[in-house]
């Protein structure tokens, strides 16, 4: 039986963050590293909360229209980090 995978998140940029009432929600550009293997760069929205004195990470969530406006407005900051994934200057093209 294989052991538990070693999973790390390399956060390239926190695009936006806000208080969600039970913690913090972030839109961020991240690379997941699983057992030393760097995976594709992703744009994600994720909740963070405190439990037992430690910051915990919730599951990734879908984007709503307000999130999409933020992404659109900050695309010039996001695009270089995502380069190679999508080389278009304008989202939607």
pLDDT per residue over 5-42, tens digit each?
999 999 999 999 999 888 999 999 999 999 999 999 99
| pLDDT score for 1 | 53
Beta strand 54-61 with 37-51 is antiparallel
Q: Is residue 1 part of a domain?
A: no
Residue 93 has pLDDT above 50, yes or no: no
Coil, strand or helix at 58: strand
Whether the Cβ atoms of residue 14 and residue 81 lie closer than 8 Å to each other:
no
Q: Is residue 78 part of a domain?
A: yes
Q: Is residue 36 part of a domain?
A: yes
pLDDT per residue over 31-80, tens digit each?
999 999 999 999 999 999 999 999 999 999 999 999 999 999 999 999 99
33: its two tokens: 């590293």
| pLDDT score for 87 | 44
Number of domains observed in the structure of the chain: 1
Which candidate, 53, 48, 2, 7, places its Cα nearest to that of 24? 48
Beta strand 54-61 with 24-34 is unpaired
């Amino acid at each position: 039986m294989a052991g538990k995978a070693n999973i790390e998140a390399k956060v390239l940029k926190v695009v936006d963050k806000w208080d969600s009432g039970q913690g913090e929600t972030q839109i961020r550009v991240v690379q997941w590293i699983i057992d030393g293997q760097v995976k594709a760069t992703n744009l994600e929205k994720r909740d963070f909360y405190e439990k037992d004195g430690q910051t915990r990470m919730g599951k990734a969530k879908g984007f709503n229209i307000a999130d999409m406006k933020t992404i659109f407005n900050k695309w010039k900051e996001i695009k270089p980090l995502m380069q190679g994934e999508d080389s278009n200057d304008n989202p939607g093209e």
